Structure 1
Amino acid sequence: MHNYLDFEKPVADLEGQILELKKIEAGENAVDVTEEIQRLEKRSRDALEDLYRKLTPWQKTQVARHADRPHCLDYIERIVTDFVPLAGDRYFAEDHAMITGFGRFDGQSVAIIGQEKGSDTQTRLKHNFGMARPEGYRKAVRVMEMAERFAIPVLTLVDTAGAYPGIGAEERGQAEAIARSIEACLNLKVPLVSLVIGEGGSGGAIAIATANEVLMMEHAIYNVIAPEAGASILYRDSTRARDVAQAMKMTAQDLKGFGIVDTIVEEPVGGAHRAPAAAIDAAAEAIRTALSELSGLSGPELRQARREKFLAIGRNL
């Protein structure tokens, strides 16, 4: 059984009926209910397609945060071979929210930087729910600089509600670390491709997403502040997050229209959490295309194009 979201109740009911019929079919007093199962499966598929064809921004937020959605390490495991993780920022400590290292994508060496949320209670605590501390961003900068030294393209996987806002993180220069990471992205003379796989939250996301090509999963979100936090600030009422999500224009489709996102990666019907392997394979194809398009540009051209891309965002020409 899937971990259903609130708005998926019609599908949950149908799939529950299918499960019960399959139990009857496999029981001691077996009854042939194949036709009824097939009829319900078609109704379930149609209902799921209909739901996901017209998701609201708040529903997309729920999908982007789904516990079963593939995370950074799932992507690395499926599309990167010979992955060698690198730890520590060489200043303070290791940050487990930020995954960094080198590996091969389609046989080509790549540097990988991504935010890992964790998939169960233990790993979520270990990875701090994907919220990096300053040392995470300083580690990212270290890996970017190493990638440039050896002329290796950089791939970043964005999935965070935001940078960690704790007192210790602020004391160690969270804002400065994020700014340095953005600066490192803008200065790179190697291809930089970024994929928003779940949540792209505020500076915590753009710190590693200031890329030549920004890709985004179909049901991911990318915003300046979480809807709940925005509702608390604007309305003093976090329960109005649904209204804020609608106003913020933070879906892949909205952002593609604004020129902030270059490519939307289509997800399987029902979201990436229903067919993680298919979703990751679709993302891999988009990454492959982006890297291929950037391979013909020189270092100075890559850097200039990246800078112009981000300077153009929001301008009224």
Structure 2
Amino acid sequence: MTHYLDFEKPLAEIEGKAAELRTMAQKNEEMHVEDEAAALDRKAQELLKDLYKKLTPWRKCQVARHPDRPHCRDYIETLFTEYTPLAGDRGFADDHAVMGGLARFEDRPVMVIGHEKGNDTQSRIERNFGMARPEGYRKAVRLMDMADRFGLPVITLVDTPGAYPGKGAEERGQSEAIARSTEKCLQIGVPLVSVIIGEGGSGGAVAFATANRVAMLEHSVYSVITPEGCASILWKDAEKMREAAEAMRLTAQELLKLGVTDRVIPEPLGGAHRDRDATIAAVGQTIGSMLGEMDGMKPKALIKARREKFLNMGAKGLAA
């Protein structure tokens, strides 16, 4: 069953009528409704183009959070072979919001790490909706250390509303774990590429995305806080999330101008969830291209380039 966002309600009505006509025709073979249904299909396609022609930042947030978007597990299962998951931080527990392990990408051994939100009620609860705890970031540090030791490129897939802010997470050193993961990103002497596939929220995203190359899907977002959180702090009113989203410059297009992201990956019309296979293939091509740009670079050169990238971040947008 298709999940429609609030601003897609007119589209839902048209596509629903077309589906209803076809269902009625299946029950009654004497009904000839294909011409009428096809006309509704064309109308729906035009409306879809109009809706997605120029999405507001808040609507992009909604698309980035769409429950049917491909998640980290989908990318790993499709783009990688011989994936061997590695669990635990060797200190407290295994955090199911972070998945990672050894794999092959285009027959090249790599380490892949990402946030996983889950795709139904049970898995979302198990994955804590993609909000990692300290042990998740410590697991990521362990895997990056291993990749560095064996000279394996690291690929990270970011999709989190932010690190988990619960009492237990704070007691176990959430902020320190995030800082250590960010530090480790800056220290490893292997290529590190990151793709924001949905939400890139707060330090929880930066801890995985302090990379040599950062790409964002067209309708993904990346920011220091959610629009709702920003609105609650600045205006004491979470309902002002639309104004907050406008001010935060969190879209892929704005962040490309600022130099925060290096490239924007186009999504199918209507968002990644409308054609999951095409989206995953486009992400795979981009990862391959980004890794290719760093072929032959020495560890010291990779570390230096990564540090300079983040020290200079935002200068392009400020100069403009």
Q: TM-score, normalized by length of structure 1?
A: 0.98
Aligned to 1:111, the other structure's residue is in SS state: strand
Determine the structure 1 residue equivalent to 2:281: 281
How far apart are the structure 2 equivalents of 1:285 and 1:169?
A: 36
Question: Any residues of structure 2 matched to 1:208-287 within 5 Å, and which?
Answer: 208-287=208-287
How far apart are the structure 1 equivalents of 2:9 and 2:238?
A: 24
CA deviation after TM superposition for structure 1 residue 29, in Å: 4.6
CA deviation after TM superposition for structure 1 residue 20, in Å: 1.5
The one-letter code matched in structure 2 to 1:161 is P
**1:221-247 CA deviation, whole Å, 9 max, x = no partner?**
000001111111000001111110111
The one-letter code matched in structure 1 to 2:148 is E
How far apart are the structure 2 equivalents of 1:270 and 1:190?
A: 36
How far apart are the structure 2 equivalents of 1:218 and 1:245?
A: 16
How far apart are the structure 2 equivalents of 1:29 and 1:189?
A: 66
**1:142-184 CA deviation, whole Å, 9 max, x = no partner?**
0001001111000000000101111111111111111110110
CA RMSD of aligned residues (A): 1.0
Aligned to 1:228, the other structure's residue is in SS state: helix
The one-letter code matched in structure 1 to 2:69 is R
Of 148-157 and 47-56, deviating more is: 47-56
Determine the structure 1 residue equivalent to 2:133: 133
Determine the structure 2 residue equivalent to 1:189: 189
**1:14-70 CA deviation, whole Å, 9 max, x = no partner?**
101111221232222522222222211111111111111111111110111111111
How far apart are the structure 1 equivalents of 2:30 and 2:268?
A: 34
The one-letter code matched in structure 2 to 1:204 is G
The one-letter code matched in structure 2 to 1:103 is A
The one-letter code matched in structure 2 to 1:20 is E
How far apart are the structure 2 equivalents of 1:70 and 1:162?
A: 18
How far apart are the structure 1 equivalents of 2:286 and 2:277?
A: 14
How far apart are the structure 1 equivalents of 2:227 and 2:85?
A: 33
How far apart are the structure 1 equivalents of 2:29 and 2:293?
A: 60
1:67 to 2:67 alignment: yes
Determine the structure 1 residue equivalent to 2:160: 160
How far apart are the structure 1 equivalents of 2:163 and 2:70?
A: 20
Of 18-27 and 226-235, deviating more is: 18-27
How far apart are the structure 2 equivalents of 1:82 and 1:66?
A: 29
The one-letter code matched in structure 2 to 1:165 is P
Determine the structure 1 residue equivalent to 2:180: 180
How far apart are the structure 2 equivalents of 1:68 and 1:20?
A: 22
Task: List structure 1 segments (4+ residues) > 6 angstroms apart after TM superposition.
Answer: none
CA deviation after TM superposition for structure 1 residue 9, in Å: 1.3
Determine the structure 1 residue equivalent to 2:205: 205
How far apart are the structure 2 equivalents of 1:25 and 1:77?
A: 38
Q: What is the count of residue pairs matched by the alignment?
A: 317
Question: Any residues of structure 2 matched to 1:289-304 within 5 Å, and which?
Answer: 289-304=289-304
Determine the structure 2 residue equivalent to 1:111: 111
The one-letter code matched in structure 1 to 2:25 is E
**1:59-89 CA deviation, whole Å, 9 max, x = no partner?**
1101111111111101101101110000011
Aligned to 1:103, the other structure's residue is in SS state: strand
The one-letter code matched in structure 2 to 1:28 is N
Determine the structure 2 residue equivalent to 1:27: 27
The one-letter code matched in structure 2 to 1:51 is L
Question: Any residues of structure 2 matched to 1:77-156 within 5 Å, and which?
Answer: 77-156=77-156
Q: Is the 8 A contact 2:260 2:314 kept in 1?
A: no
Determine the structure 2 residue equivalent to 1:54: 54
**1:97-152 CA deviation, whole Å, 9 max, x = no partner?**
11110101110111011000111111111111111111111110100010011110
**1:165-214 CA deviation, whole Å, 9 max, x = no partner?**
11111111111111110110001110000000000000000001000000
